Structure 1
């Protein structure tokens, strides 16, 4: 399995970092694209430099439109943008492909592959909602970073794992990162 992961400048880079590490542990080939602000937020929130993620993923520069993930002939099983800023979401919704992140997302959409966008913003204004609607109508999964609390989390990692588990579920990847409703872990 081959997944593209995008990380943008929205808060919540711990979700992206955890997803990458989990996919790696599951033996998934990962291709990572981070925006400049995504790199800065990852460093600020997690203390992780994007270059450190080379141990888990093939890291592509966001300005490299010659990268493999910019082409539909490079087969992937989908793409997850986590966290996704409203800036990146708007560019993707409006067909702007001037960065590798937005180009790769456009490729995934045109090839009818699974694109999952995890916005981490609150509140949404009307333009955010319209952009999300445009993407949803195009077959994109909008999965807001809204962890559940029915499993009674006591640690932040339990909230992060809840969201990563939901992302993996959308990708069709079996996991046991969270206690599911009606089941004991």
Structure 2
């Protein structure tokens, strides 16, 4: 029997998501996203900025090397020839988690000076799902204008706002709820958080 051709249109591939991490606070959100995608058997392509690596070490008990092994493929942020930089590389979307205001501005302007902004630009031009998990407060007019215009271009802005109705016992439950809602946008169900079912007796 002939071997299956992975390039044949009838051959089904694993769902493929690009995960980018920038230096904004909230590194644990990116880490938990990778863990959830791995558990769901989603092929992941990871890109990290140097400040993401610094933030991981400062905010969590993880080392960047431990985070990288959670992904199926890791790409250097300066490698503009990486497969994910091309629209011909098929993906099911990209999530930038956390997303700094610098990265937001770069994507908004189309100034693709690194692999994160270039790949996000590819998502927009190919009309694929792009989710930006923006981390900043308070927001300036510049931030808000960038968010509005990039939303009009097709991206989804997802500030990780905690859901207090779940009455979380700690930060981990709040993180799980945020990650679960982010991945809902890709039609992926983590099963890790309580969904709203209306008022319940407590």
Pair in the same fold by TM > 0.5: yes
- Structure 1 gap ranges (5+): none
What is the aligned counterpart of 1:39 among 28, 36, 53?
A: 53
What is the aligned counterpart of 2:155 among 140, 155, 170?
A: 140
Q: Give per-residue Cα distances to partners, 1:99-137, cap 9 Å, x unaligned.
A: 000000001111100000001110000000011011100
Q: Is the 8 A contact 2:36 2:190 kept in 1?
A: no
Aligned partners of 1:175 and 1:62: how far apart in 2? 28
- Counterparts in 2 of 1:15-164, with a 5 A limit? 15-57=29-71, 58-164=73-179
1:56 CA drift (Å): 2.0
1:17 CA drift (Å): 0.3
Q: Give per-residue Cα distances to partners, 1:72-120, cap 9 Å, x unaligned.
A: 1111000000100001110000101110000000011111000000011
Computing the radius of gyration over CA atoms, which structure comes out larger, 1 or 2?
Answer: 2
Question: Is 2:187 the counterpart of 1:172?
Answer: yes
1:15 CA drift (Å): 0.3
Q: CA RMSD in A?
A: 1.2
- Structure 2 gap ranges (5+): 1-14
Aligned partners of 1:39 and 1:149: how far apart in 2? 30
Consecutive aligned runs of 4 or more in structure 1 exceeding 4 Å deviation:
none
TM-score normalized by structure 2? 0.88
Count of paired positions: 184
Q: Give per-residue Cα distances to partners, 1:127-160, cap 9 Å, x unaligned.
A: 0001101110011000101121101001111000
